[in-house]
A = this chain, B = another copy of it.
Amino acid sequence: MKTFPSKKKTIINDPIYGFISISDELIFRLIEHPYFQRLRRITQLGLTHLVYPGAKHTRFQHAIGAMHLMGQAIEVLRSKGHAITDEEAKAVTIAILLHDIGHGPYSHTLENSIVEGISHEDISAIFMDKLNAEFDGELTLALKVFRDKYKKRFLHQLVSSQLDMDRLDYLRRDSFFTGVSEGVTSTERIIKMLNVVNDELAVDYKGIYSIEKFIIARRLMYWQVYLHKTAVASEYLLLNILKRAKEIAGNDGELFCSPVLKPFLHNHYTKKDFLKDPGLFENFAQLDDYDIMASVKAWANHPDKILSTLSNMLVNRKLYKIEIQNSTFSKEKINKQKTKITRKRKLKGKEAGYFVFTGTLINSAYNPQSDRINILFKDGSVKDVAEAADLLNISMLSKAVKKYFLCYPNGL
């Protein structure tokens, strides 16, 4: 019997799952690392708390929660006779713990704004390599699993697939903190139904209703939370604020900001810069929501009228008005709004674009081309859920739904 040295054993109290134990020393040290602690200061859902006030939860909580579910999944698969060594178990646990470590401030909101042409997945990869070097190669197997280079593919699929622990945690967590009960899923039941066939993850047939519910819950969460129109309007507002700030910084304008944010306002960094400049990376590794919001708050008093107006709108929650429809907006309608704001605020050239703009929202809940969910029948055969569910035509759900939005100032 293995006994854990109590000095390193930690219990985290999670409002959703209760007590989460951390008993492995390497994992404990990863969580204590400043790179990981930074996730305490990055909200999971960006500005969504402007719509659902409870949604202040962080990437830190999510990563710990996903790690907890991974422990359950390992236990279930082992109990069904699938060999997972202790080393593999640790690797897949580390992989899920670090899967989102590259997220910048406000999670998805500022991707491609703070830095351009580089995704949070790319940045996560850099973080993991740094940590692997720092921990003398102890993360090598975790990285192999994360990058899908390991023979037991199901381990990678536990980290990244239609039914990975990432999704299972975030749907439940986002549902819990927003209060949107439509997103509640039977996390526990789905995990109990996991299985493995030919080294690929599968779901026992009797879990098919839970899978249906899961796919639908995810779709409902998209429309009610992730693509909620007011949340979308807030995100675009923040994007426009940063765009304007960069414009001012580019013209050598005076601009208060936190020290670690500064280089990102005054330069346009790309993936290449990131890979070759370790100082730049370390700078990024200190950025979080506080740098952004403290700066935006200061900009509400900036002499540039556009910057101060937009910043004020965000700080005091006077968001854009946003309309959503199934077809594109007419040029007339857009231009009418642009003319109005241009006159009212005496704007020049393209400046109206900071206040009036359009865009699209796309959601496809399940894409049978790229994302399979294997259903394992009692006779040992395997089918994709889109074929197996005779009850609900899941392939219908895969139809991408596209909507158009128009933002303009509310009562300005």
A residues with a Cβ closer than 8 A to B are: 1-4, 11-16, 18-19, 21, 23, 32, 34, 37, 40-41, 49-50, 52-54, 56-58, 60-61, 64, 78-81, 83, 176-182, 184-186, 188-189, 192, 209-210, 212-213, 216-217, 219-220, 223-224, 256, 258-260, 286, 288-291, 293-295, 297-298, 301, 315-317, 326, 390-393, 396-397, 401
Residues of B within 8 A of A316 (CB): 34, 37
Q: Which of B14, B19, B216 contacts A189 (CB 8 A)?
A: B19
Q: In the complex, A180→B19 CA distance in Å? A: 10
**Chain B nearest Cβ from A395, distance in angstroms:** 10
| Contact present for A291 and B297 (CB under 8 Å) | yes
| Contact present for A259 and B189 (CB under 8 Å) | no
| Contact present for B391 and A219 (CB under 8 Å) | yes
Nearest chain-B residue to A295 (Cβ)?
Answer: B294
Q: Tell which of A2, A11, A176, A189 has the most Cβ of chain B within 10 Å.
A: A189
Nearest chain-B residue to A62 (Cβ)?
Answer: B53
| Contact present for B209 and A213 (CB under 8 Å) | no
| Contact present for B13 and A179 (CB under 8 Å) | yes
Given A41-B293, A401-B391, A19 and B396 contact (CB-CB distance below 8 Å): no
Residues of B within 8 A of A11 (CB): 192
| Contact present for A49 and B40 (CB under 8 Å) | yes
Nearest chain-B residue to A296 (Cβ)?
Answer: B290
Q: In the complex, A34→B182 CA distance in Å? A: 32
| Contact present for A14 and B53 (CB under 8 Å) | yes
| Contact present for B192 and A186 (CB under 8 Å) | no
**Chain B nearest Cβ from A84, distance in angstroms:** 9
Q: Tell which of A61, A256, A316, A326 has the most Cβ of chain B within 10 Å.
A: A316
Q: In the complex, A52→B58 CA distance in Å? A: 12
| Contact present for B260 and A297 (CB under 8 Å) | yes
| Contact present for A64 and B58 (CB under 8 Å) | no
Nearest chain-B residue to A83 (Cβ)?
Answer: B1
**Chain B nearest Cβ from A81, distance in angstroms:** 3
Nearest chain-B residue to A312 (Cβ)?
Answer: B34
Q: In the complex, A19→B60 CA distance in Å? A: 28
Given A81-B3, A223-B209, A297-B286, A259 and B256 contact (CB-CB distance below 8 Å): yes
Nearest chain-B residue to A204 (Cβ)?
Answer: B6
Q: Tell which of A11, A78, A260, A293 has the most Cβ of chain B within 10 Å.
A: A293
| Contact present for B401 and A19 (CB under 8 Å) | no
7 cross-chain pairs, A with B, having the tightest CB-CB distances, nearest first:
A3-B81, A294-B294, A15-B179, A56-B56, A15-B54, A290-B293, A13-B179
Nearest chain-B residue to A13 (Cβ)?
Answer: B179
Residues of B within 8 A of A177 (CB): 15
Q: Provide 19 A-B residue pairs closer than 8 Å at the C-beta atoms, listed in order of the A residue.
A: A4-B79, A11-B192, A15-B54, A19-B189, A21-B192, A23-B79, A34-B315, A56-B58, A181-B186, A181-B189, A182-B209, A182-B213, A209-B223, A212-B216, A219-B391, A223-B391, A260-B297, A290-B290, A294-B295
Q: In the complex, A40→B234 CA distance in Å? A: 15
| Contact present for A258 and B297 (CB under 8 Å) | yes
**Chain B nearest Cβ from A23, distance in angstroms:** 7
Given A40-B53, A298-B259, A15 and B390 contact (CB-CB distance below 8 Å): no
Q: Which of B23, B184, B315 contacts A184 (CB 8 A)?
A: B184
Residues of B within 8 A of A61 (CB): 53-54
Nearest chain-B residue to A316 (Cβ)?
Answer: B34
Q: In the complex, A180→B11 CA distance in Å? A: 13
Q: In the complex, A83→B1 CA distance in Å? A: 7
**Chain B nearest Cβ from A154, distance in angstroms:** 16
Nearest chain-B residue to A58 (Cβ)?
Answer: B56
Q: In the complex, A218→B288 CA distance in Å? A: 34
| Contact present for A216 and B219 (CB under 8 Å) | no
